Structure 1
Amino acid sequence: MSAISIKNLDVIFGKQTAKSLAMLDDGKSRQEIIDATGDVVGVHDVSLDIEKGEICVLMGLSGSGKSSLLRAINGLNTVSRGSLNIQDGDEPINLANCDKAALRHLRTNRISMVFQKFALMPWLSVLDNAAFGLEMQGISKAERRRRAEEMLEMVGLAEWQNNYPHELSGGMQQRVGLARAFTMDSDILLMDEPFSALDPLIRSQLQDELIELQRTLNKTIVFVSHDLDEALKLGNKIAIMESGRLIQHGKPEEIVLNPNSAYVAEFVAHTNPLNVLCGRSLMTEVTALESQDSKLVLSQHDETYISTDPQGHVTSVTRQGKALPLHLWQAGDCFEGLKQDSLVIANPDISMREGLEIRYRTGQPVLLVEDGPLIGVLADNNFYHALLGKHISLETETST
């Protein structure tokens, strides 16, 4: 069951909603609707399911509708047409037609928001800022303090709880905002470009911290960003928007490998594939390797061959008749333990960053096995292919 389920959602800003919706149905553009009615189309015909425990990143250029969609999820923007269901226990609440009491219940108990500008109250201490939402819920002072202290400890600000916001750096102030949201213990967090105003180093650090916090707290997070590298780093799913529409929605790797439009491909072309691609996406499949004397050719130049048993398991790798050491790679292994000229055998879901590091330290390709048999190889040409953006396959184009 989805935590958030959006179906055919339209959000119109203005006073002639019915006329603007009719114009949308007739295929009129945003600009034509503005000229005719003065209304602005914020979101148009968006359908999107966000699962419990997922980080979904809404991204696009300025004016694409990502923040308009985010604000509709907690009722700050009114639904003009369609449905927007928030799961509340066993029953969904539809923001398109719910009453004020239901909306207040969602905002108080189910949804918290982290803003770009921190939104801290300067007259309150760090602790009181973190506990503020609980005060609005009528929670006792002792319980508010306990929960706020726990979250401040989690974000590394326990020693600053008696300070005031102006005494903290921008990154620390944003951590207070995170602690306040987590203190509410809401199932859904809405984050509107929370790190965009910060220096790159602090921004990267907070991204890492958010990932670690999510492993512990398992919230449903809707995160707005205009930065694809940030989206690829944080998101379990990415929803790319343009002119109020949802253009593509999927896992980061799917979007990088198969952008479905020139608009998405332009985003993807400038991203860092190290952050998203894995060995399975880059590898040369075993069926594409040449064979010689019942062995697979790893390198014809220096006579390096792979021997496998009838089930496809790697039995040995030789160079000019001499056996090379094999190293079975496990998640979390230390790179310092790798030796030059050793052949690493890894799972095909190994990250591109790990694969490159292994290639650098051993000077050899990486062998990829799944459930025993060899399924592919990562060599220099695979890494170059990805780094140059040659892995991108635009689905709307016909291959030649």
Structure 2
Amino acid sequence: MGLSGSGKSTLVRCLGRLIEPTRGQVHIDGEDQLREIRRHKMAMVFQHFGNFPHKRVLENVVYGLQIQGIDKTTQRRRAAEVIELVGLSGWEERYPHELSGGMQQRVGLARALAVDPQILLFDEPFSALDPLIRRDMQDQLIGLQQMVQKTMVFITHDFLEALKVGDRVAIMKDGEFVQIGTPEDLVSNPINDYVRDFTRDVPRSKVLTARSVMTPPRVYATADEGLSDLTSRLIAQECESAVVVDGQDRFIGTVHLADVPGSGVAHSSVASVIRDSCPVVEPGTRLERLISLAITGDAPIAVLDGGRCIGTINREAALAALISDDGVAM
């Protein structure tokens, strides 16, 4: 990611050897013979489709296989597979100008997939598309990635697009990486004002997750523990609540000081005041989902990882996470 002129397209073209680096080397799998790597292990999808206007869809898709010297039977079989994969079955004999923008970009994607590359390079492939078609192509790319499991380097200047399709994001400025991390890292911990400005308008509710806003439990208890002992521990730790677990450390519920009766504590166990109906989420649950849970009840939200409670989120923490550094709700 980066503003115009930051070096995004130049970098990806150096990776694909469309531009020769002026210094240094590019190694892939320990090799720097990038001409052969580009032919057999790498493919690129361009912003303006890059289809041959005089070739039909099928002819465009098999082009990379022809360059590799693959026999025609294998060419057609492989082309048919990827054409179906990108949803273009029945359009094999059409020319690019007969297709919509989204369909033309699918032709480019099918051509890239046909050579079965290890690495796919995308240079702002969806920026020329209408918003609805763009969203559809993003969804399709995510679905394809789940099926084909390729390494993808995706260039974009749209943070929301990066958030949707990217596992890790590198923000560029003046040809250098300024900060690399997950979208959540970049929004939560920008390294400088450039990154902070870049992510300022990003909806935090769509980026932050339960893991980033939860509070790790400070006090654990078991159901058969005496309330008197637990109360003493909570007061000593200056905590308002404890997480209750069973013998295998699996989450049962929570106990709150406010629920502890004023009398009879010495003879009561934790089991008598457990809140066992609190909402439960996974660590990767987005904040937008947490907000709705937080405002519909007063119980904290439990964050479970493999059945073990690794944190809790109260209403105040969930709402505070929506506020950006400059005090603006996002």
Shorter-chain TM range is 0.7 to 0.9
1:85 Cα deviation after fit? 1.0
Answer yes or no: is the 8 Å Cα contact 1:207–1:234 preserved in 2. Answer: yes
Instruction: Give the equivalent residue in structure 2 for 1:388.
Output: 323
Structure 1 CA distance for aligned equivalents of residues 6 and 279 of structure 2: 45
User: Would the aligned equivalents of 1:385 and 1:391 in 2 still touch at CA under 8 Å?
Assistant: no
Q: 270, 285, 290: which one pairs with 1:350?
A: 285
SS of structure 2 residue aligned to 1:86: coil
Q: Does 1:92 align with 2:31?
A: yes
Cα deviation code 1:105-153 (max 9, x no counterpart) = 1221121110000011222222221112112222222211111111111
1:198 counterpart SS class: coil
Superposed, which structure 2 residues align to 1:303-322 within 5 Å?
308-309=244-245, 314-316=251-253
- 1:343–1:365 contact (8 Å) kept in structure 2: yes
The residue identity in structure 1 corresponding to 2:112 is A
**Is 1:183 paired with 2:114?**
yes
Given residue 213 of structure 1, which amino acid in structure 2 is its aligned partner?
A: L
Pick aligned residue for 2:10 from 53, 61, 68: 68
CA contact (8 A) 2:217 2:242 kept: no
Q: Unpaired segments of 5 or more residues in structure 1?
A: 1-58, 94-101, 298-303, 327-341, 393-400
8 Å Cα contact 2:17/2:35 also seen in 1: no
Kept after mapping to 2: 8 A contact 1:193/1:223: yes
Distance 2:317 2:326 in 1: 9
Aligned-partner Cα distance in 2 for 1:175–1:360: 42
1:250-309 deviation digits (Å, cap 9, x = unpaired): 2222222211111011112211233432111011333399xx963699xxxxxx976625
User: Amino acid of the residue matched to residue 31 of structure 2?
Assistant: P
The answer to which structure has the higher strand fraction is 1
> What CA distance in whole angstroms lies between the structure 1 residues aligned with 2:160 and 2:109?
21
Structure-2 separation of matches of 1:178 and 1:381: 45
Counterparts of 1:226 and 1:307 in 2: how far apart (Å)?
Answer: 43
Partner residue of 2:87?
156
- Partner in structure 1 of residue 237 of structure 2: none
Q: Is the 8 A contact 2:246 2:252 kept in 1?
A: no
Offset, 1:64: 0.5
Q: Are the aligned partners of 1:282 and 1:391 in contact in 2 as well (CA < 8 Å)? A: no
2:123 maps to 192
8 A contact 1:316–1:323 mirrored in 2: no
The secondary structure found in structure 1 opposite 2:20 is coil
CA 1:209–1:360: 2 relative to 1, 3 Å: farther
Q: Report if aligned partners of 2:219, 2:241 keep a CA contact under 8 Å in 1.
A: no
Match of residue 336 from structure 1: none
Computed over aligned residues only, the root mean square deviation of the Cα atoms, in angstroms, reads 3.1
2:283 counterpart SS class:
coil
The offset of 1:373, in angstroms, is 4.9
Which of the pair is proportionally richer in helix?
A: 2
**In structure 2, do the counterparts of structure 1 residues 244 and 363 end up closer, same or farther at CA, with 3 Å as the change threshold?**
same
Letter of the 2:116 partner, please give it: D
Residue among 132, 152, 155 paired with 1:201: 132
Partner of 1:117: 48
CA contact (8 A) 2:62 2:114 kept: yes
Do 1:233 and 1:275's aligned partners in 2 also have CA atoms closer than 8 Å?
no
Q: Which amino acid counterpart does residue 280 of structure 2 have in structure 1?
A: I
SS at match of 2:70: coil
Matched, 1:378 2:320: no
Tell me, in whole angstroms, the C-alpha distance in 2 between the residues paired with 1:227 and 1:111.
24
Alpha-carbon distance in 1 for matches of 2:326, 2:303: 18
Distance 1:199 1:313, change over 3 A: same
- Report how many residues are paired: 300
**Distance in 2 of aligned mates of 1:347 and 1:266:** 30
Secondary structure of residue in 1 paired with 2:280: strand
Give 1:167 shift: 1.9
Letter in 2 for 1:114: V
